Each structure stands twice: as C-alpha cells, then as structure tokens.
C-alpha cells in the first residue's frame, strides 16, 4: 500500500534507516561512550537476534512461558450497548505478568544473555515494565535494577512488591515530579557507569537507536497474531485498530500488523484533567519537535524548551514525549492520534469490567474509552482494541480515588 508517497510494502526494510531515523525523527543523541554501547547493541541485535537459534528460543519462550498467542475476544455486551459496531480486544492482559511489556523484556533479556551481560537495568512508570523485566531477569538468572519515581512507587504498590519478590532491586527516584521522566533520567545515568556488564532494557519504543526499533520488532508479535486471529474469526480485517500511546510500545506492536492494510489506525493519548500544559501528557497532539532521552521526536516543552511536567491518571502514560516512529506516522497521517480524558477513561474501566468481566489497566482503558466514542461516530463496522494490560495493579487506586461506581 502506498500512503503519502511511502511504500508500506517495504516499510519495515526502510524504517528506521541505518542511523535509526524515521524521517527526521529518532537517531541516537548520546555521549560518545554511550554511542559505543548503542552501536554494540545494534550490532548484536542484527547478528544475534536475527539468528535462527535466537528466534527459535524466543518462540519457545513465548509459547511455553508467556502463554502466547494471547486470544482476541469479541465484546458482545459492550458492542450491543453502542449500536452496530463490533468491538474486539487483543488480550495482552493475558500475557504472563499481565501486560504486553513482557514481549520485549524477554527479547531484551535473551539478548543480554547471548551477549554475556550479567545485569539488566531499566526505568518503570506503572510498574508493568519493571515487573516484566524482573520476571525476565529471574527467568534468565540476571541481576536487575529498576528505577521508579516515588509517586509511582506509592501509586503502584502491588507492582513494587512483585518486583521485589522476583528479586529485583527497586531504586527510588525522588527528584522533580518523581514520576516516569525522572526515572528514565536516573536509569540512564546509572547505565553510563555500568554499560560494560549490563544492558539497558528500555520500557517502550523510546530512547536512542536501536531501542525504538528493537522494542517495536519484539512487540510486533501482537500485530502478527491479532491480524491472523481477526481474519480467522471474522473472515475480514477490522475497519479500525485502536491502542493507547504512552511511549508507544503496545501501539507499535499492534499497528505494525496493519500499517500495510486498508485499516484506519488510532493512537490514543491521555488528556488527563484538560488541555492546559501540565494537566495532560498528549505529546503528539500538543507537542513540538525536540530531543530528550537520546532521541528526536515530538514532545511537550515548558517555557525554557525543557520537557514539560505532565500528568495522567495512568502512570504508564505520563511521559512528555512518544517514540520517534509515532512522530513519523503522525506527520505522515498514516496513524491518527487523538485523546481521551481521565473521566472518560474511568468510565470505560468500569464499563469493560461490568459488561465483559475484564478489568483493564487504566492505560488500556484509554483505548477502550476512545473505541467507545469511535463506535458511535462510525455507526457500523468493527474495531480491534489492543488491551495492553490488566487492571489488578490499579484497583486500590481506583477505589480510593473514584469509589465503586
Ligand atoms: C498496561 C500498560 N499499557 C500501556 C502502557 C504504556 O506504554 P506503551 O505506550 O509503551 O505501550 C503501560 C506502561 O506502563 C502499561 O503498563
């Protein structure tokens, strides 16, 4: 398929280019020492991860340990309540550890093992990436340091406990807003001193090249499975695919399966409390081009051009930028990026729980909320939602702040 002069038949061969660029976005803006570490990882990725030994081991792990393929479920009662549009969910909540994050963590940790590294290091927001990486580290017998902001440590207590039980060292980050951006800063700083023996396992399609590409490729299993499953279930492709976008890994995972199809694709960002800077984390909708955490993308900036403070009810979405490939697809118009606010999200959280018996993560509830609005606009057709994770981690927070509705 050709879209705005981009040939999507050959898209994955051409993007990113050899230097990690998706158009003008991406790259690797890091110190000379880290540049060397990134080049080593890039080379290892193309030699090790493309080898049949690595691929067959990852396939085995996905099937025997992660429980893949995750199913696609038809949402009969929710669809019925919205009119004539049929809603389906790709059940990443049923992936081991309860979210899509394990897809890239097992890949990254397997790479670390092949490279002879002893330790993995990462940041986490909602704690899902931290839990997934702690799980992968336990599986492969690697040490694991997880950097997490104090605010998120309090909000996501069950995930903190899980990481500790799995043997990870949770490092509290207290400065600034003490959320995801500060956790990334701290984890990168630690990595600079330890890169010989350890590998940074970023939590999304973010950071310097090759991370956005590697994470996308490991997550593409979602889109590959979902496309085949949807065709098998319905005999056709969905009219629309919807996913929430924080850094953008679950979204790139499912989108990658449909970029070359006549399917409308929607990325959903958190509008939080409203449109004022500081009240949301909708970087693609309201941001401008800029460099942070080693990559060029679209980001929310304060009056000094620095990453702006952001907010979302979902800890996993409150990041002032998104992956460079999303910025590229945004400018191209191949993916439409839109927003839902906290209130719409909480409403969707309860609707999916009550009408389908699936408690979604607050992050994923953003995608559900948007699909519910889209269904009303479309009037007919089908929507496939990526249900990126389950909501067990969010239940105490929801009950404390919103009560039972
Ligand atoms: C369940 C869930 N969905 C989505 C996200 C957002 O991350 P990404 O945009 O990389 O998929 C997170 C992040 O922690 C998450 O835990």
- Assess whether the C-beta atom of 207 lies below 6 angstroms from ligand 1: no
CA distance 185 to 121: 12
pLDDT reported for residue 272: 98
For 246, phi then psi, to 5°, come to: -105, -95
Mean pLDDT of 17-35: 95
Q: 151 and 39 in one domain? A: yes
What's the distance, CA 367 to chain centroid?
Answer: 12
Question: Does residue 346 contact residue 354 with C-beta atoms inside 8 Å?
Answer: no
Torsion over CA: 202, 207, 210, 214 (sign) = positive
Question: Does residue 89 contact residue 110 with C-beta atoms inside 8 Å?
Answer: no
Identify whether 19 is part of a domain. no
Identify whether 6 is part of a domain. no
Identify whether 8 is part of a domain. no
Q: Which regions of 117-193 does DSSP assign to beta strands (E)? A: 119-124, 143-149, 169-173
Identify whether 12 is part of a domain. no
Task: Give the tokens for residue 68.
Answer: 């893949």
Q: 209 and 358 in one domain? A: no
User: Which of 188-192, 205-209, 242-246 comes out lowest in average pLDDT?
Assistant: 188-192
Q: 347 and 300 in one domain? A: yes
Identify whether 11 is part of a domain. no
Hey, how many other C-beta atoms are within 10 angstroms of the C-beta on 6? 17
What's the distance, CA 261 to chain centroid?
Answer: 22
Mean residue pLDDT across the chain:
97
Q: How confident is the model at residue 155 (pLDDT cuts 50, 70, 90)?
A: confident
Marked catalytic residue, from 73, 117, 388, 393: 388
Question: Does residue 386 contact residue 251 with C-beta atoms inside 8 Å?
Answer: yes
Q: 168 and 231 in one domain? A: no
- Domain-terminating residue out of 177, 194, 216: 216
Please choose, from the candidates 39, 34, 32, 26, the residue with its C-alpha nearest in 3D space to the C-alpha of residue 291.
26
Angle at 363 between CA 355 and CA 397, to 5 degrees: 80
Q: 175 and 40 in one domain? A: yes
Percent of the chain whose predicted confidence (pLDDT) is above 70: 100
- pTM (global) more than 0.95: yes
CA distance 135 to 110: 12
Q: 76 and 141 in one domain? A: no
Q: 114 and 199 in one domain? A: yes
CA distance 248 to 265: 13
- Domain-terminating residue out of 182, 216, 250: 216
Marked catalytic residue, from 123, 182, 325, 363: 123
CA distance 342 to 348: 10
pLDDT digits 0-9 by tens, 275-334: 999 999 999 999 999 999 999 999 999 999 999 999 999 999 999 999 999 999 999 999
How many separate domains does the chain show? 2
Q: How far is the CA of 250 from the centre of ligand 1 (A)?
A: 6
Identify whether 27 is part of a domain. no
Question: Does residue 120 contact residue 108 with C-beta atoms inside 8 Å?
Answer: yes
Please choose, from the candidates 319, 268, 311, 271, the residue with its C-alpha nearest in 3D space to the C-alpha of residue 295.
319
Task: Give the tokens for residue 323.
Answer: 């992956």
73 is catalytic: no
Q: How confident is the model at residue 156 (pLDDT cuts 50, 70, 90)?
A: confident
Identify whether 40 is part of a domain. yes
Residue nearest ligand 1's atom 15 by CA? 316
Angle at 98 between CA 97 and CA 100, to 5 degrees: 95
Domain that holds residue 110: 35-62+101-216
Q: 306 and 187 in one domain? A: no
CA distance 228 to 237: 9
pLDDT digits 0-9 by tens, 37-76: 999 999 999 999 999 999 999 999 999 999 999 999 999 9
Q: 125 and 260 in one domain? A: no
364 is catalytic: no
Q: Give the residue, out of 179, 180, 204, 212, with the most ligand 1 atoms within 8 A of its beta carbon, to mutate for a pocket test.
A: 204
Q: 226 and 364 in one domain? A: yes
Task: Give the tokens for residue 382.
Answer: 């089908």
pLDDT reported for residue 165: 98
pLDDT reported for residue 33: 83
Residue nearest ligand 1's atom 4 by CA? 363
Identify whether 23 is part of a domain. no
pLDDT reported for residue 375: 98
Kindly report the CATH number assigned to the domain that includes residue 313: 3.40.50.1100
Question: Does residue 247 contact residue 349 with C-beta atoms inside 8 Å?
Answer: no
388 is catalytic: yes
Residue nearest ligand 1's atom 12 by CA? 316
- Domain-terminating residue out of 216, 248, 279: 216
Q: 226 and 82 in one domain? A: yes
Q: 358 and 291 in one domain? A: yes
The 169-173 sheet, strands edge to edge? 169-173, 143-149, 119-124, 198-200
């Amino acid at each position: 398929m050709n879209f705005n002069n981009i040939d999507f038949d050959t898209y994955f061969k051409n993007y990113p280019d050899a230097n990690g660029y998706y158009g003008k976005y991406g790259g690797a803006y890091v110190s000379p020492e880290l540049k060397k570490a990134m080049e080593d990882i890039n080379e290892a990725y193309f030699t090790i991860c493309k080898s049949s030994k690595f691929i067959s081991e990852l396939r085995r792990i996905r099937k025997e340990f992660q429980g893949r393929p995750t199913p696609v479920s038809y949402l009969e009662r929710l669809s019925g309540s919205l009119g004539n549009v049929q809603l389906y969910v790709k059940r990443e909540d049923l992936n081991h550890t309860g979210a899509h994050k394990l897809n890239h963590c097992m890949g990254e940790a397997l790479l670390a093992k092949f490279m002879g590294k002893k330790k993995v290091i990462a940041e986490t927001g909602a704690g899902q990436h931290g839990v997934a990486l702690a799980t992968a580290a336990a599986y492969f017998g690697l040490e694991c340091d997880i950097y997490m902001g104090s605010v998120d440590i309090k909000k996501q207590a069950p995930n903190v406990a899980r990481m500790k039980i799995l043997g990870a060292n949770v490092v509290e980050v207290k400065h600034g807003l003490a959320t995801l951006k500060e956790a990334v800063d701290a984890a990168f700083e630690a990595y600079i001193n330890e890169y010989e023996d350890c590998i940074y396992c970023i939590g999304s399609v973010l950071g310097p090249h090759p991370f956005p590409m590697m994470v996308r490729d490991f997550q593409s299993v979602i889109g590959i499975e979902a496309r085949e499953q949807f065709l098998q279930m319905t005999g056709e492709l969905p009219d629309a695919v919807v996913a929430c976008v924080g850094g953008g890994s679950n979204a790139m995972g499912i989108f990658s399966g449909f970029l070359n199809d006549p399917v409308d694709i929607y990325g959903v960002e958190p509008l939080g409390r409203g449109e004022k800077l500081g009240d949301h984390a909708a970087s693609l909708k309201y941001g401008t081009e800029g460099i942070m955490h080693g990559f060029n993308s679209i980001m929310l900036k304060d009056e000094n051009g620095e990453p702006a403070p952001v907010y979302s009810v979902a800890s996993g979405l409150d990041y002032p930028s998104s992956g460079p490939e999303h910025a590229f697809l945004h400018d191209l118009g191949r993916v439409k990026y839109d927003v839902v606010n906290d209130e719409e999200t909480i409403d969707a959280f309860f609707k999916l729980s009550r009408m389908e018996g699936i408690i979604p993560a607050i992050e994923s509830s953003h995608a559900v909320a948007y699909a519910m609005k889209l269904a009303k606009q479309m009037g007919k057709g089908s929507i496939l939602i990526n249900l990126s994770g389950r909501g067990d981690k969010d239940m105490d927070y929801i009950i404390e702040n919103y009560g039972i509705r």
